[in-house]
Amino acid sequence: MGELKNDRFLRALLREPVDYTPVWMMRQAGRYLPEYRELRSKAGDFLSLCKNKEFACEVTIQPLERFPLDAAILFSDILTIPDAMGLGLYFETGEGPRFKKIVRTEADVDALPIVKTTSDLDYVLNAVTTIRSELNGRVPLIGFSGSPWTLATYMVEGGSSKDFRHVKAMMYDKPEVMHQLLEKLTLSVIDYLNEQIKAGAQAVQIFDTWGGNLSHAAYQTFSLQYMKKIVDGLIREHDGRKVPVIMFTKGGGQWLPQMADAGADALGLDWTTDIGVARGLVGDKVALQGNMDPSVLYASPARIREEVESILSAYGSGSGHVFNLGHGIHQFVDPEHAKAFVEAVHELSPKYHQS
């Protein structure tokens, strides 16, 4: 599959020296790119893009053709797992994801299968293989999954939610049912990520988008504990190289010390935490990924550059930083601003890596 020509992303995740800070953007393939919108309309809809390996590969590479990104991320979605469990994922225009079947009772949870990736999600593995071969060592490929808690919120609510009414009622009233659901999801995610790694994913990220909505105690019990179990179950070396694991809890800044002990190589940060303070809290246990407010990309390239400099300087000298946005890029961002962001990271960061 070819030697890696640019391994800065993997090196930074392992806190090994690099000459500049590597950068990628969460949701870097997506609606802010006109070429993405064009391919989606050719495919018919979002899920058809995910399920066709040539389309998924083309969309994955689109942002790399525009910007000098240091990593590619598999084009797919975290909700492929609940879909494979039989819930029937679909997207209502303008309303986000929805499920035909909703999980609300103990019997619903009992009926859920554990996902067997090679048969139930083979289209994701085919996309990984196709993308790796097309990348031909240009940059590493990131695989990903949702965290059990985040997946559970969509499965119990039936889609996106503002108040998490049903999933929190289940968690507080029927914790044993919630644990059973999270257990099934955990086993499914371990299998899913390990198969992505075997197919060629060179790093993996766990997206815990809704962990930050939990209380301090509930976060440990219902989200972090299961992510830790996932990390413990992952293949950590493949094809003679370490496979770094990134754990990202949006809104999780106050739990960094506990997260740093969960066994991941790196923690993702949203923009509400100062990355210098975060570095002090985690010490040399993990690398950090983040954390510019995605809304900065609405501002001018000159302002974007200033914000990039301030985050680089807050992190300070030395390796262990992967630059990213604090969450996914918004659909109304001008691609030229995304370009200014990526270029600013490359231009401004070398001075933090002189030994």
| Residues tagged active-site | 27, 31, 40, 77, 154
Using an 8 Å Cβ cutoff, are 18 and 67 in contact? no
Contact 74, 132 (CB under 8 A): no
Cis peptide before 291 (omega within 30 of 0): yes
| 154: three-class secondary structure by DSSP | helix
Question: Contacts with ligand CP3: how many residues (CB under 6 A)?
Answer: 20
Member of 75, 99, 222, 271 binding ligand CP3 (CB under 6 A): 75
Distance CA 279, CA 320 (A): 9
Q: Does 77 bind ligand CP3 (CB under 6 A)?
A: yes
The crossing angle, in degrees rounded to 10, of helices 275-282 and 301-315 is 20
- In angstroms, the CA 327 to CA 230 distance is 22
Residue closer to ligand CP3 by CB (options 17, 44) is 44
From candidates 6, 14, 16, 27, binder to ligand CP3 by CB under 6 A: 27
Q: Where are the alpha helices (DSSP H) in 67-174?
A: 80-82, 106-111, 117-120, 122-135, 148-157, 165-173
Which of residues 21, 209, 213, 273 is near ligand CP3 by CB under 6 A? 209
Binding span for ligand CP3 by CB under 6 A among 24-32, 107-115, 291-299, 312-320: 24-32
120 is in an annotated binding site: no
CA distance to 102, 123, 306, per residue, from 85 (Å): 11, 15, 46
Which one, 54 or 106, has the nearer CB to ligand CP3? 54
Residue at token pair 């996902």: 115
Nearer to ligand CP3, 15 or 30 (CB): 30
Q: Which two tokens stand for residue 60?
A: 């994955």
Q: How far is the CB of 276 from ligand CP3 (least distance, A)?
A: 24
Smallest gap, in angstroms, from Cβ of residue 306 to ligand CP3?
25
- x/- map, 151-180, ligand CP3, by CB under 6 A: ---------x--------------------
Query: Residues annotated as binding site?
Result: 27-31, 77, 154, 209, 327
Q: List residues near ligand CP3 by CB under 6 A.
A: 26-31, 40, 46, 73, 75, 77-79, 96-97, 144, 160, 207, 209, 328
